[in-house]
Amino acid sequence: MDKSCTRCGKCCLHMRRYMVIERSIGEAQHYCLFSLTKERFRARIGEDYLTAFRDKDSMNQYPEACPFLRQDQESFYCTIYSSRPEHCKKFICS
């Protein structure tokens, strides 16, 4: 998400098929494969986001969404923002 991001979530709402959580250590650390680019990375849930991350039911209406995406009213946010994969870091919204 870039600086002009409105947090609409569109770039993340269909990413579940690419985001594979291969191994988890507790709730906060997840070894992942982002299969679109074949990047392996360690996702870390920030303390501020742990409660939201636990609430998986809140995303039931978006079954194709990235497993790290959560919604706050009408806005979406990434619970692993600082450790998201390179594809997400480089993404520029058009």
User: Interface residues with ligand SF4 (CB under 6 A)?
Assistant: 1-2, 5-12, 15, 19, 66, 68-69, 78, 80, 84, 88, 93
CB of 86 to ligand SF4, least distance (A): 10
**Residue 75 forms beta bridges with which residues?**
72
Q: Least distance (Å) from ligand SF4 to the CB of residue 25? A: 18
How many of the other CB atoms lie within 10 Å of CB of 38? 7
> From the CB of 26, what's the least distance to ligand SF4, in Å?
19
Q: Looking at beta carbons only, is 25 or 75 nearer to ligand SF4?
A: 75
DSSP secondary structure string for all residues of 44-67: E--GGGHHHHH-GGGGTT-TTS-T
Q: How far apart are CA 22 and CA 30, in angstroms?
A: 7
